[in-house]
């Protein structure tokens, strides 16, 4: 690679000359795109070669020249014909086709980054708004390029042999146990196998049914019991409110008593221990509010440079915005937010637990108000992108004093979508005054 340049004319000529001499050599596609070539005439020649290969026509100088004429892609017939013939006549292949493809693609990728950086420089000088928004937009543009360029396209399954063997060994060693991140809610872990990296988990409930509480309980379990880093983005609650919820849950202290400053002296020790445990846990909270999905992604990536993130929590999807999709309707914007969160699970290599609102339709049903997938607000895109969708349903919130005794103090966790497992409903104990969900079995509470 020449110093100071982002293109190699001779490498491009060598690839095209080799193809004109030897054809595709049985290859179905060459991975490269015409835009990967720096020289304009090379782009036109390669386009013709691609077209001919797709048609099953033998590739040689005459077929390429004729195709350029037929498609109106000849600029100067005499010059184009002479150039193609010179490529065929003068090329002496010294490397494999794969070698040439690799160099051309590497340089093309760098040119794309260079262009994005130049546009970013102009954006920095001209853009209006706060720095966080501008920086997030620039970083997202670079990440979009990186995600596309890292794609490997079609690959022979033979390339996956060792990874597959390693994964099967892990499955056998684990004997069907929890492979992903444990939440320490036993039935949830059994059903999901734990939260996996690359999974988007959506948790939805009607207001007051504890979705933030449940998410914070999971966060505390992941941070305290699994010793994993948790990043929480909250659009409604302050970091102090969240911390108080986690402290009350950890100490099993009535939050109203704490707020009024009237907890019994006997609970002071538990309170201090809970404060120590929670504030020493690897939990990061961002309560800036009014997030764009690009800002969340940028902050996760920034944290990822120093920490191995175990879980990201977003509270909640419908209050996250996407400037790129703004003005196209709320449905489109929520769809874009949902899709970008799913992509972020791959970039950050960790699961994301995203909380979601529900539509009011569920409250209009007179017979059964148990939520279903269509009750998700802007449900289509969220349902499509999510790997797991869980609902919290509390019978007491619906029936009040008419609640059957066996349902009092309990919440149904409804797994309505589970891409890699079964659909099921299970119960947890729910104690609102402690901001706490617990496994039903006392023995499970002790061991989990």
Concatenating the DSSP letter of every residue in 12-68 gives: HHHHHHHHHHHTTTT-S--S--GGG-SSHHHHHHHHHHHHHHHHTPPPSHHHHHHHH
Of 75, 99, 123, the residue that ends a domain is 99
Residue 81 and residue 225 share a domain: no
Domain check: are 365 and 232 in the same one? yes
Q: What is the mean pLDDT of residues 15-20?
A: 89
Q: In the predicted model, what is the mean pLDDT of the chain? A: 82
- Containing domain of residue 332, as a range? 181-447
pLDDT for residue 30: 66
Residues 195 and 325 in one domain: yes
- Co-location of 93 and 221 in the same domain: no
**Distant-in-sequence, close-in-space partners of 216: CB < 8 Å, separation ≥ 6:** 232, 242, 245, 246, 249, 435
Residue 110 lies in a domain: no
Q: Of the candidates 99, 126, 148, which is a domain's last residue?
A: 99
Tens digits of residue pLDDT in 236-261: 888 888 898 899 899 888 888 887 77
Residue 28 has pLDDT above 50, yes or no: no
Rounded mean pLDDT, 172-185: 79
Mean pLDDT of 385-389: 90
- Give CA–CA dist 76/84, Å, rounded: 12
pLDDT tens digit sequence for 320-366:
888 777 777 777 888 888 888 998 898 888 999 999 888 776 666 66
Catalytic option among 40, 82, 159, 236: 236
- 155 within some domain: no
- Environment class of residue 46 by beta-carbon count within 10 Å: exposed (0-12), middle (13-18) or buried (19+)? buried
Residues 82 and 189 in one domain: no
- Look up the CATH number of the domain holding residue 40: 1.10.860.10
Per-residue pLDDT tens for 276-296?
999 999 999 998 877 888 888
Q: How far apart are CA 79 and CA 77, in angstroms?
A: 6
The 10s digit of each residue's pLDDT in 125-169 is 776 666 666 676 667 666 666 655 555 555 667 766 777 787 677
CA separation (Å) from 288 to 202, 247, 315, 383?
22, 21, 12, 27
Does the annotation count 241 as an active-site position?
no
pLDDT tens-digit series, residues 81-114 = 999 898 988 888 778 888 888 888 888 888 888 8
Q: How many domains does the chain have?
A: 2
Structure tokens at 87: 């490529």
Q: Which of 151, 143, 155 is nearest to 112 (CA)?
A: 143
Residue, of 224 and 263, whose pLDDT is higher: 224
Euclidean distance between the first and the last CA atom of the chain, given in angstroms as a whole number: 57
* Cα 109 to Cα 131: distance, rounded to the nearest angstrom: 27
């Amino acid at each position: 690679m020449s110093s100071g340049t982002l293109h190699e004319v001779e490498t491009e000529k060598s690839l095209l000359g080799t193809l004109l001499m030897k054809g595709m050599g049985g290859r179905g596609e060459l991975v490269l795109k015409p835009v990967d070539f720096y020289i304009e005439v090379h782009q036109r020649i390669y386009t013709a070669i691609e077209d001919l290969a797709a048609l099953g026509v033998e590739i040689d100088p005459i077929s390429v020249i004729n195709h350029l004429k037929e498609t109106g892609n000849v600029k100067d017939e005499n010059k184009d014909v002479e150039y193609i013939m010179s490529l065929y006549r003068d090329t002496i292949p010294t490397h494999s086709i794969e070698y040439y493809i690799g160099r051309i693609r590497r340089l093309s990728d760098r040119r794309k980054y260079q262009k994005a950086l130049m546009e970013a420089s102009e954006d920095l000088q001209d853009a209006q708004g706060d720095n966080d928004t501008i920086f997030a937009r620039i970083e997202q543009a670079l990440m979009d390029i990186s995600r596309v360029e890292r794609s490997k396209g079609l690959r022979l399954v033979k390339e996956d042999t060792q990874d597959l063997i390693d994964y099967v060994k892990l499955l056998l060693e684990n004997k069907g146990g929890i492979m992903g991140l444990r939440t320490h809610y036993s039935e949830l872990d059994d059903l999901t196998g734990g939260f996996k990296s690359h999974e988007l988990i959506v948790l939805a409930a009607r207001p007051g049914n504890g979705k933030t509480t449940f998410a914070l309980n999971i966060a505390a379990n992941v941070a305290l019991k699994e010793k994993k880093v948790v990043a929480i983005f909250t659009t409604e609650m302050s970091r102090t409110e969240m911390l108080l919820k986690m402290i009350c849950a950890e100490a099993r202290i009535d939050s109203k008593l704490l707020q009024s400053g009237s907890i019994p002296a006997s609970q002071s020790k538990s309170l201090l221990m809970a404060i120590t445990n929670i504030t020493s846990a690897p939990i990061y909270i961002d309560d800036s509010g009014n997030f764009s999905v690009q800002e969340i992604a940028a902050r996760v990536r920034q944290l990822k440079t120093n920490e191995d993130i175990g879980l990201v929590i977003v509270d909640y999807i419908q209050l996250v915005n996407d400037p790129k999709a703004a003005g196209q309707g709320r449905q489109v914007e929520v769809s874009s937010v949902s899709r970008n969160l799913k992509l972020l699970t791959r970039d950050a290599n960790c699961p994301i637990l995203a909380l979601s609102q529900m539509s009011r339709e569920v409250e209009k049903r007179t017979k059964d108000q148990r939520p279903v997938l269509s009750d998700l607000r802007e449900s289509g895109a969220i349902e499509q992108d999510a790997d797991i969708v869980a609902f919290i349903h509390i019978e007491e919130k619906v029936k009040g004093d008419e609640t059957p005794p066996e349902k009092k103090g309990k919440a149904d966790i409804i797994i309505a979508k589970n891409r890699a497992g079964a659909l099921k409903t299970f119960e947890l104990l729910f104690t609102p005054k402690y901001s706490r969900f617990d496994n039903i079995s006392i023995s499970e509470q002790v061991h989990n």
